């Protein structure tokens, strides 16, 4: 982030009159229009966080207090928070070998029980998408695609995010596939959303600026590992990290501000280069895995995937994560629970009953994953393989 951006954020009067008042909206609209074209969507709206986008989309799909929403039992708190903010009830659906919802978990629900199902494309993999969509239709559930991990991925040459009523993810973006739903989204934005303040944007930008030199460094990986380890220890002792209750919907969703919109537009322009890097690193990971006799992650033949992370099931997960962490290698172990990062009593606060999704819980005990972005190189890959195969 440049100093000029900080000055602009602190002093919006640097532009004159009406242009100054509308600059945030102008940049956000530019980003939304560019993203809608990128995603082959009917329209897009940008928010500060993905959970904000999800809350608005749920309301636009007429989610009312007490309605049930199907969610993947291998997810993060952000998804469940958005459901609970709407006073709806999350229903956890167990996973298949792709780390996505097992279609059978939807089919066993009574017709009309689930008003919406959120189809999470985990790490970019859509799982058995045709069967998932058919299962949702059979029980009368609308579908939202969670594309946080799946930019520019396709199914039978059609973009992920265009199969359901709408989609969320990718840094707070909401996309829809009809003019009717877009109009309803805008109505809900007027009812519940608030613009992000310049002060909040500036604080966020300063944090990113200060953190950037350490991002993906050896120190960053080590500190991240130590943080996860400490959190796991406290969770095992029964420490609660989740407040009782959730934010009030009104004023909770925040639209993306000027600085974020400009940053995201730049990222969108740079996506082709990052996509190529991810594809090359995925190929490198699979080559090393194959040579070491490790299993490759199953990918549906209909899917053209750019993976965000590459998962692997192992038998000594936390020993591998520990050795990687102390060496500054990005071998990650999240999710640490079906609703990451919650555990123990906190899971009950979000309506998750331990033991209800055994495949997800068993997978979490064994799953690690590696990066596919520019932080990965052949030297690190060799070091990761040594740690994994030695254990």
Domain-wise residue ranges, the chain: 3-198, 213-238+259-390
Lowest mean pLDDT: which of 147-151, 205-209, 366-370?
Answer: 205-209
For 245-302, the pLDDT digits (tens) are 787 788 889 999 988 999 999 999 999 999 999 999 999 999 999 999 999 999 999 9
Q: What is the pLDDT of residue 85?
A: 95
Q: Are 159 and 152 in contact (CB under 8 A)?
A: yes
- Give the count of beta carbons closer than 10 Å to the beta carbon of residue 335: 22
- What residues contact 165, with CB distance under 8 A and at least 6 apart? 61, 142, 143, 144, 176, 177, 178, 181
**Tokens 């990052």 map to which residue?**
274
Which helix H or strand E contains 85, and what residues bound it?
helix 77-85
Q: Are 224 and 325 in contact (CB under 8 A)?
A: yes
Distance CA 68, CA 114 (A): 5
The separation between CA 97 and the C-alpha centre of its own chain, rounded to angstroms, equals 19
Q: Are 359 and 102 in contact (CB under 8 A)?
A: yes
Lowest mean pLDDT: which of 109-113, 196-200, 236-240?
Answer: 236-240
Distance CA 391, CA 373 (A): 25
Distance CA 127, CA 95 (A): 10
Give the mean pLDDT of 195-218: 68
Q: Are 314 and 368 in contact (CB under 8 A)?
A: yes
Q: What CATH topology corresponds to 3-198?
A: 3.40.640
Task: Residue 115: name the closest of 75, 79, 71 by CA.
Answer: 71
Task: Residue 168: name the closest of 274, 46, 64 by CA.
Answer: 46
For 290-302, the pLDDT digits (tens) are 999 999 999 999 9
Question: Could you tell me what percent of the chain has a pLDDT over 90?
Answer: 75
Q: φ, ψ for residue 163 (rounded to 5)?
A: -95, -30
Mean pLDDT in the chain?
88
For 97-117, the pLDDT digits (tens) are 999 999 999 999 999 999 999
- What residues contact 221, with CB distance under 8 A and at least 6 apart? 324, 325, 328, 329, 330
Q: What is the pLDDT of residue 200?
A: 73
Residues in the chain: 391
- What residues contact 360, with CB distance under 8 A and at least 6 apart? 73, 74, 92, 94, 95, 338
For 326-366, the pLDDT digits (tens) are 999 999 999 999 999 999 889 999 999 999 999 999 999 99
Distance CA 306, CA 279 (A): 6
Give the mean pLDDT of 187-208: 81
Q: How far is CA 269 from CA 31, 146, 275, in A?
A: 11, 22, 11
CATH code of domain 213-238+259-390: 3.90.1150.10
For 219-230, the pLDDT digits (tens) are 666 666 666 666
State yes or no: pLDDT of 140 exceeds 70: yes
Distance CA 136, CA 106 (A): 7
For 58-103, the pLDDT digits (tens) are 999 999 999 999 999 999 999 999 999 999 999 999 999 999 999 9
Q: Are 385 and 379 in contact (CB under 8 A)?
A: no
Q: What is the pLDDT of residue 15?
A: 36
DSSP-derived secondary structure letter, 244: S
State yes or no: pLDDT of 216 exceeds 70: no
Distance CA 87, CA 70 (A): 14
pLDDT level of residue 4 (50, 70, 90 thresholds): very low
């Amino acid at each position: 982030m440049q100093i000029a951006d900080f000055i602009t954020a602190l002093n919006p009067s640097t532009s004159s009159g009406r242009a100054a008042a509308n600059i945030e909206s102008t940049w956000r609209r530019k980003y939304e229009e560019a993203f809608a074209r990128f995603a082959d969507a009917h329209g897009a709206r940008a928010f500060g966080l993905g959970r904000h986008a999800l809350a608005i989309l749920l309301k636009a799909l007429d989610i009312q207090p007490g309605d049930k929403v199907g969610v993947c039992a291998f997810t993060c708190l952000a998804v469940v928070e958005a459901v609970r903010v709407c006073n709806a009830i999350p229903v956890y659906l167990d996973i298949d070998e792709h780390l996505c919802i097992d279609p059978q978990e939807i089919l066993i629900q009574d017709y009309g029980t689930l008003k919406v199902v959120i189809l999470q494309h985990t790490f970019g993999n859509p799982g058995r998408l045709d069967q998932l969509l058919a299962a949702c239709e059979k029980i009368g559930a609308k579908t939202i695609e969670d594309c946080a991990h799946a930019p520019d991925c396709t199914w039978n040459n059609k973009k992920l995010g265009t199969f359901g009523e709408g989609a969320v993810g990718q840094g707070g973006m909401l996309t829809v596939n009809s003019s009717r739903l877009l109009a309803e989204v805008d109505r809900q934005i007027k009812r519940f959303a608030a613009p992000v303040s310049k002060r909040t944007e500036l604080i966020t930008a300063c944090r990113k600026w200060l953190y950037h030199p350490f991002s993906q460094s050896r120190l960053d990986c080590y500190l991240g590992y130590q943080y996860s380890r400490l959190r796991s220890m406290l969770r095992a002792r029964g420490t609660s990290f989740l407040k009782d209750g959730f934010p009030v919907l009104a004023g909770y969703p925040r639209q993306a501000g000027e600085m974020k919109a400009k940053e995201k537009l730049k990222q969108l322009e740079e996506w082709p280069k990052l996509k190529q890097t991810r594809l090359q690193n995925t190929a490198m990971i699979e080559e090393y895995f194959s040579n070491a006799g490790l299993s490759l992650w199953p990918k549906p033949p209909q899917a053209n995937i750019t993976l965000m992370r590459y998962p692997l099931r192992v038998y000594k997960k936390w020993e591998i994560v520990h050795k990687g962490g102390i060496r500054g290698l990005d071998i990650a172990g999240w999710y640490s629970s079906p609703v990451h990062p919650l555990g123990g009593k906190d899971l009950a606060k979000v309506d998750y009953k331990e033991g209800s999704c055994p495949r997800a819980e068993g997978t979490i005990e064994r799953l690690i994953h590696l990066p596919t972005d520019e932080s990965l190189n052949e030297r690190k890959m060799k070091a990761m393989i040594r740690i994994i195969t030695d254990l």
